[in-house]
Chains A and B, each alone.
Chain A
Amino acid sequence: DGGITQSPKYLFRKEGQNVTLSCEQNLNHDAMYWYRQDPGQGLRLIYYSQIVNDFQKGDIAEGYSVSREKKESFPLTVTSAQKNPTAFYLCASSTGQGQETQYFGPGTRLLVL
Chain B
Amino acid sequence: GDSVTQMEGPVTLSEEAFLTINCTYTATGYPSLFWYVQYPGEGLQLLLKATKADDKGSNKGFEATYRKETTSFHLEKGSVQVSDSAVYFCALKTTPGNKLTFGGGTRVLVKP
Residues of A participating in the B interface, judged by any CB pair closer than 8 Å: 4, 6, 31, 33, 40-45, 48, 50, 58, 90, 92, 94, 96, 98-107
From the candidates B43, B51, B93, name the one contacting A107 in the complex (CB within 8 A). Answer: B43
Residue of A with least CB distance to B45: A104
Residue of B with least CB distance to A107: B43
Knowing A96-B98, A99-B51, A101-B49 are in contact, say whether A43-B89 is a contact too (CB < 8 A).
Answer: yes
Residue of B with least CB distance to A100: B98
Interface size class of B (residues with CB under 8 A): 20 to 34
Knowing A99-B93, A104-B44 are in contact, say whether A40-B99 is a contact too (CB < 8 A).
Answer: no
From the candidates B36, B43, B49, B98, name the one contacting A105 in the complex (CB within 8 A). Answer: B43
Knowing A40-B105, A41-B104, A99-B93 are in contact, say whether A94-B98 is a contact too (CB < 8 A).
Answer: yes
Residues of B participating in the A interface, judged by any CB pair closer than 8 Å: 4, 32, 34, 36, 41-46, 49, 51, 89, 93, 95, 98-100, 102-105
From the candidates A43, A96, A105, name the one contacting B102 in the complex (CB within 8 A). Answer: A43
Cβ-defined contact, B46 with A101, below 8 A: yes
Q: Determine the distance from Cα of A48 to Cα of B100 in the docked complex, in whole angstroms.
A: 11
